[in-house]
Each structure stands twice: as structure tokens, then as C-alpha cells.
Amino acid sequence: MRIKNPCFDRRFIHFSNHPAPFSPAHSLRSRLPCSALPTPSPSSRFSSRFSLPSDARCSVQDISLWRRMGCTSSISKRYSIGRKKKLNIPEILVFTPTLRIPANSDLVRPLRGRVSQEIVEKLFAFRSRILLLAEQCLGSAFSELHQALQEYLPLLLALTKKEYGLEELVEFKWKCLEDDQKETCIASSWYELLSVVHMMAMLSLSEANNILISKDVTDTDCKTAAIDLLLKASGYLEYCVRHILVCMPPNIKMMLPRDLQEGVLEAISFEALGQGTEMQLGLAVESQKATLSVKRRLACEQVSYFAKAHYCMSGCISEGYGRKHILFIKWKYLEAKAAAYYYHGLILDKGNESRDHIRAVCCHLAAEELLIDSKRACLSFCIQAPVTRASPFWGVMKHLNQKILELASEKSQMYAYLFEDDKAAAHELPDLPDFLLSLKPDDYELPDIDPSWGSEKCEPQVQTLKAHLNDHDDKVEIK
């Protein structure tokens, strides 16, 4: 990274040994006042392209005359008559990766004659209910859909047990909402179990985002509820990696879609912890009791979480929605590192030696550079398909957005004379301290198998040859 000070030519100062998948731009900007610094906005970039020309108006008489002349077809292409349809661009506070929901699958025919009719009907009913809720009322029924998934799990678990011999009997289908409804069909009960727990995690992330958007984002209770949901989502994903993927045969793992690969699941888990730490830092900034050391520690922990998330995603496919996912991690990583260097600079500036002040200035200049780069990363994330919009500055960045820029300018001017006495210090950027990560995922355990699997009713009924032939003639319609 290149750090500029007011006395000397531009010099390179390299980052610390802290994992840094993203580095700032190779050249610092000229010392501009805070009001002159660029603040990219998605709307300003495209406003000129979609604005009508000043003369694009016509009277009712003109339209009537042109209609009689047969020219209205060409007019409609140039002028919009009536109100324009408002674009619904979703707002993102908590990033939710691609949501996968169940698709129609034939559960009755493969299981008929192997388990009781009661078990088959229950499995079909619970899965159909999940499918219906997911397609019709996903945005407003988080708790109801989550409850349906919890009720489905005890029945599903028995299909994964070797003693029943049903692991690869049923072909389960799931579809991705963001990838043109693309379906993935795998004959594995472990795939179904993984998809159900993954969906529970995605619902927790979606609910956290919905809480922060629909309510006052500055409300402490709102942030606390969102943190709890993020920890719960991280716990679901950690269970998927440690207890479900390890039980899958290698051939089934190779068939899994990108969203269920081990690296992606781990990345989302670390990402959820990073976003939870970001909200904790926001609460600490608003609290008068929180010290600078506490704020610096939370910012450094946030950097570590997003660095781990990027490392997990490094071996995964970065196309389509995966590309947007990586851009979100980059954006949040740069924001977190800007905050970490800001607080680290404040603590170093409390030292009594001149070298401490020089190192503090380097930290503040690095924070300024990282903040500007984070705004560019935010813009890249928003315009990457599917297009989204970021909320105005909130949490810790609401407080630091201007403070970082102002303090970098103030300190670099205040301690400019010190760089003349210690030129070697201008080449060094202090390392960020390493801390043990304090935020952990919630523990999650699967429920017990449904008691109906151990009852006498679970035993398959003996069929006559005539009944067996009639069963094959029946057509099961799955709605």
C-alpha cells in the first residue's frame, strides 16, 4: 500500500502480516478537503442515461393529431405516457446468499411397500406444506416456514439411517430462486437433510435483514435480535459442514450445487459472525462505557471473520450470484479494516514518543484509503446482478464515515514536521493486533427421529400380487 504524507514524495508502505485478501489502491489521492472526496452513488451513475430530454413533452392536441396521422406507434417508443412502473430494488443490510426451496418430488412411489402408508403420507404432507409456504408467502412467514422445516426433520432423519436401507431410494428435487429456477435432483436422503438445514440458515439471515430494514436500525433491541439470528444461522451452517457433509458418499458430494459446497457453507458461517461483530461494534460506538481498546478489538475481529470468509470462497466458482457474494465480502472487509486502523491510530496517538504519532498518522491515512476503496466495492456489489441497493451509513460507519476523513487530514498536517526527523518511519504501516475471536456460532443438534418410525404401524404391509399390480397402474399426482 502506498502512504502519502505532506512532506515527502509518495512512498510504498506494505500491509502487515494480517491476512489481507484485498489491498487498497496503489496510489493515494491528493490531499483534498473532506467535501471534495468522491462519494460514489449507484443512482448518480445512471441518472443521465435514463432521464428524458428537456423537450420530451407534447400536448394533448399534438397526440390527437399524430394519432389521426398514424404516428402514435412511433411516439410510444420515445415518450412514456402515464406513470412509470416503479422498480423494486431490494435493500441489503444482512447479505443472504441464494435461497433454495424444495421442488415437486415423487415420495410415494419409491417408498410404497417399504414403509407404512402413514409414514409416506406424513412425509408427503410435510414436504408439500414447505413447498407451498416457500412459493406463496416466503417474505412474510419466516417463523411459519421455519416451524414447518422443524416438523419435517424428525420424519426425514430415519431415511438417512442405514438400518432402514432408504438412503438413496428417493430422488429429491430442489430449485434455486436466483438461478432461473434451476433444479437439482439427487437420489440421496443426506442431500435432502443438508438442503433443509441450509434453508433454515438462509431463513435466519433473511429474517435478520428484514428486521433491520422494517424497523428502526438504531434500536438496540432490533440489533440484538438480528445478532441472535446471525449466530443461529452460523450454527446451522457449521452443523452442515461438521455433521452432514462428512456422512455423504463422495459421489453425492460431487453432485452438490455450488451453494452447498463445503467452502461456500463455511464462508457464509464466518460472514454471519462478521456481520454480528459489526453490529456489536455499532452498539459499542453508541455506548459511552465502551473503551477504545474494546472498539479496536471488535473491529479487528470483524476483519478476521471476513478474511476467513474470503479464504473459504477462494476455491469456489465466482460466477453469477457467487460473484456478488465475493463482492459483498470484499466490501465488508475493507470497511472493517478501515475502522480497525482508525481505532488503532487513536490508541497509538496516545503515546509520548514522536514515533508513536508518526505511526498513528500512517494508520489514519490507511483508514482513509480503505474507506474510499470500500465505497467503490459497495458500488460494485450493488450493480452486480441481481441489482441491490445498500442502506445509508448505519452502525459504526455512520459515526466513522466523516471522522476517518477529517482525522486523517488533521493529523497529517499536525505531525508533518515529525516526518522530517524520522524518514524511515514513513515506510512502515503498523500491524493490526491479533485477538482471539469471541463470537461463536450457536450450538445446534438435530431432533430425535419421529416415534412413528419405531411403532408397529411403521412396518410395511404385505400386499397380494393383485394389489401390487394395481399399485403400479395407479398414477400419483403431486401438487
Q: In a structure prediction context, what are the per-residue pLDDT tens digits for the chain, which is 479 residues long? A: 444 444 433 333 333 444 444 444 333 333 333 433 344 443 333 333 333 344 444 444 443 444 444 444 443 444 444 455 556 777 778 888 878 889 988 888 888 878 888 888 889 999 999 988 887 765 557 788 999 999 999 999 989 888 878 888 889 999 887 666 678 899 999 999 999 999 999 999 988 888 888 766 567 788 888 999 999 999 999 999 999 999 998 999 999 988 898 999 999 999 999 999 999 998 998 888 889 999 999 999 999 999 999 999 887 666 677 788 899 999 999 999 999 999 998 998 887 777 778 888 888 888 999 999 999 998 998 888 888 887 777 778 888 888 888 888 888 778 777 766 666 566 678 889 889 898 899 999 999 888 887 764 455 554 444 444 455 444 444 43
| φ, ψ (nearest 5 deg) of residue 439 | -85, 125
Cβ-contact 131, 102 below 8 angstroms: yes
List residues bridging with 185 in a β-sheet. 173
Cβ-contact 130, 145 below 8 angstroms: yes
Q: What's the CA gap between 108 and 28, in Å, rounded?
A: 65
Check residue 174 and give its pLDDT: 92
Check residue 86 and give its pLDDT: 55
Distance in Å from the first CA to the final CA of the chain = 59
Of 312, 430, 303, residue with least CA distance to 360: 430
Burial label, 78 (beta-carbon count in 10 A; 0-12, 13-18, 19+): exposed
Check residue 83 and give its pLDDT: 52
Report residue 181 as a C-alpha cell.
Answer: 429456477
pTM: 0.75
| Cα-based torsion angle of the residue sequence 116, 118, 120, 126 in order, rounded to the nearest 10 degrees | -160
Long-range contacts of 466-471 (CB under 8 A, 24+ apart): 468/113, 471/112, 471/113
Check residue 36 and give its pLDDT: 37
